Structure 1
């Protein structure tokens, strides 16, 4: 009798363990609406951005209105692994958005090829390039012309099309359209691949720091007279560098290295 009771208890324990180690999977989908971002969709369905991208076989974070996304989180165990927990924490931390602005800080740009060592430059000329040459002037002028019709384009995390931009995606799109062969970089990458200028002209870059994170974290395109155009928190807009918020976070003017000619 005792052996029979123990056998029944063992069977019940095994069934409980098997049930605990499984999770139901559904095939829910979500239709993208205006103003949605991958982060927003992922958060509302309690999954990470990387999991959402994996479920939909996405190589980038660009989405379109009316696009259908699978939002089912398929798991094999009710207890997430340490790796998944770590991934969720890292994703949440990297997607913290500031009240004022944000940038694609999570984007990992390829390391640029180191150029040949430049010839020695007199100290008085360091970081003070001459006025851009004719070809560079043409690209910079075209960049300002391309940027203005994009006013009021909505903000989209990692967006690089007229359907939505983040700050670095906006600069990337504008200069590529203007004719500059530019790789997709985040604000830190752009800052590293540009040269400081003391007397900016329209088409130069303006950088800011300590917005939604420490260090270089936001950038725009200088229009002249202290104004710049950028992808703000909600949309593409023109702002003044001398405004209370931006003046305090101003980090300097720069020009893409390709335009220092």
Structure 2
């Protein structure tokens, strides 16, 4: 009996020892943290933090868990070592409170369509604690249900095999492209796995018809997104390059809230002229943002809500910036991800 107790105690001690050495120290991200500040705090480097946590961007979210010390796990058998390398082929992310698919895609520098495809999602609903794949396999692809759509656009079944590629130009819409190639908007959406009518200049689309694609056009700074079916975005995109002026709310110059006031009223959605804080208090949070929703930022030039813009999809927003006037910016931009508050929608 004593021998059995001693054996059990020894096993428990070894198990505890293995558990202690098998995991790296962790740090919970606080609001305002950056990879640079965390690296300095823990005497490491940004590159080491990225490598240790399989990060592909500098985007951090509040309450995100980060490893801050290299694991010193004891040697294991070849079989165990081989097994331990399998999950590393695909990065995983655990959903936290306040997350949405767009925010997660921006955080990991991936496309929203890829995130949906890799996880075989049938809706935008996610929940805290859910594990999501945030990268493709670098070795062998994970097995997926037969009905899962591949992340890259796939041709829809058709008797017409004369498929070609068309590069979207500024001013294009799905209906215009469909007419040019003798097809329909629905067929274009199906052929390219599009979930909405939103397209952007420089985007490559599969088309199915007898027409020939026009010459490719390199998108300019002002041609990043186009969608003539959304009046709000269409009005906003017309204003790219308009200079910034504090208190401005006319076509001559805008500040961030003046830009919102002008665009919404121009698109037929009457709102009063308020500050960013005023619009913030007259809107509600959304977990799954749609093009045309509001995006808010805090603690930029003053404490609290201090900047805003309009979400245009593909992890981008359009806004009146103090440096460049009306412009399109990615949510993964280091400055804006640090001050990001959330997506909201007018009541």
TM-score for both structures, normalised by structure 1: 0.45
Higher helix share: 1
Q: Relative contact order: is structure 1 or structure 2 higher (C-alpha 8 Å, sep ≥ 6)?
A: 1
Q: Could you tell me the TM-score, scaled by structure 2's length?
A: 0.34
